[in-house]
Amino acid sequence: NAESESNRGQLAGVPGAGTLKAVFFLFASICAWYSGYLLAELIPEVSLSSAAYSIRNIGERPILKAPAPKRQKCDHWTPCPSDTYAYRLLSRGGRDKYAKICFEDELLIGEKTGNVGRGINIAIVNYMTGKVTATQYFDMFEGDNSGQMINFIQSAPSKSLLFMVTHDDGASRLKEDAKKVIEGLGSKHIRNIQFRSSWVFVTAKGLQLPEEIQRESINHSDSARNRYSGWPAEVQIEGCIPKKTS
């Protein structure tokens, strides 16, 4: 019994396991704080902020922005060569889509220029200078305007480009002699034009246009297939006319 009492006295003087863990944790905390202090002193603040920013952006996808496509003359998809004239013709489509004639990025006839009208719209351009010389529309639904249109076309001097588009009806009062004049300029569809047909045509006087360029297009009104109520879909042609032709 005396020996047991002596052993318990000796054990009572030894620190417990919990006390040792507490001391070790306190020592580890002090070491960690001191290491962090040294790290902050040795590494510049800018580097730390940059590292933090980089960490935040890990996993984020880079945003690649494609450059905006450059607008081409007359809204072509691809640019015309510098030694050519750019053109684009658009007939009327429905009540709200006005006919347009664009040449070298200049709107010769259209809603914004205020010179588009019902019937056949014509623009004459001096081929040598690339400048518009005259524009006019001829009502083919009311009045007798075929003769005036013939005079206008025949007044175009040699070395002229002529652009024609329909806006609404271009056929009801179009007479035979006017059809012959336009046919003589190379049109293959003028004799097929009907009430509210969408029609566009480019031609020239005193020079020969290349065979490969778009010259003419037509779309007839059909109640079963019309895109718009009472109107067929608009038609358009565009291209590049060489500044030096035969």
pLDDT of 110 > 90? The answer is yes
Please count the residues of the chain: 246
Instruction: Tell me how far apart the alpha carbons of residues 89 and 167 are, in angstroms, rounded to a whole number.
Output: 12
Q: pLDDT higher for 55 or 200?
A: 200
pLDDT of 168 > 70? The answer is yes
List the structure tokens of 126. Answer: 């001096």
What end-to-end distance do the CA atoms of the chain give, in Å? Answer: 134
* Residue located via tokens 């360029």: 213
What confidence tens digit (pLDDT) does each residue in 23-59 have?
A: 666 766 676 666 665 555 555 544 545 555 555 555 5
pTM of the model: 0.71
Domain ranges of the chain: 17-60, 73-242
State the alpha helices, DSSP H only, in the chain.
2-12, 17-42, 45-56, 146-154, 176-184
List the structure tokens of 73. Answer: 């003359």
Q: What percent of the chain has pLDDT over 70?
A: 72
Question: Is there a contact between 182 and 201 (Cβ–Cβ < 8 Å)?
Answer: yes
